[in-house]
């Protein structure tokens, strides 16, 4: 079975802090994705990566950056956290760049105070 793990289930940070959310997949998938999920808004794509060191902006990249130094690991970075970034963050991976199934991690609920 594909396993996508996220470093924390719950995280509380202060406004202005730099925040790192880590995601690891164990199935040698090429593509990895970061979404945020808010009530009534569904899932919105922040960034994705289709190869090591490659990244593309999604629909809502403002205030975020990403890093993919190794194939299995994809990090989401909040350079200076703000209260409007309080949300559930979901990581996903897919085998190839085609219309493959995306496999999701359990999510990190981030609260910025």
Partner 1 sequence: AQSVTQPDIHITVSEGASLELRCNYSYGATPYLFWYVQSPGQGLQLLLKYFSGDTLVQGIKGFEAEFKRSQSSFNLRKPSVHWSDAAEYFCAVGTPGAGSYQLTFGKGTKLSVIP
* Tokens coding 34: 């970061």
Nearer to partner 1, 18 or 57 (CB): 57
Binding flag, residue 106, partner 1 (CB under 8 A):
yes
Binding flag, residue 25, partner 1 (CB under 8 A):
no
Kindly calculate the radius of gyration of the chain based on its CA atoms and give it in whole angstroms: 13
Binding flag, residue 56, partner 1 (CB under 8 A):
yes
**# residues near partner 1 by CB under 8 A:** 30
Binding residue for partner 1 (CB under 8 A) from 58, 72, 73, 77? 58
Binding residues for partner 1 (CB under 8 A)? 4, 30-31, 33, 40-45, 48, 50-51, 54, 56, 58, 90, 92, 94, 97-107
């Amino acid at each position: 079975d594909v396993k996508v793990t996220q470093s924390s289930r719950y995280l509380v940070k202060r406004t202005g802090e730099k925040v790192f959310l880590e995601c690891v997949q164990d199935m040698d998938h090429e593509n990895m994705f970061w979404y945020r999920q808010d009530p009534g808004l569904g899932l919105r794509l922040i960034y994705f990566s289709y190869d090591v060191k490659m990244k593309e902006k999604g629909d809502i990249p403002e205030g975020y950056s990403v890093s993919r130094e190794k194939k299995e690991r994809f990090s989401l970075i909040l350079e200076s956290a703000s209260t409007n970034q309080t949300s559930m963050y979901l990581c996903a991976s897919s085998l190839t760049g085609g219309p493959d199934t995306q496999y999701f991690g359990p999510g990190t609920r981030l609260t910025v105070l």
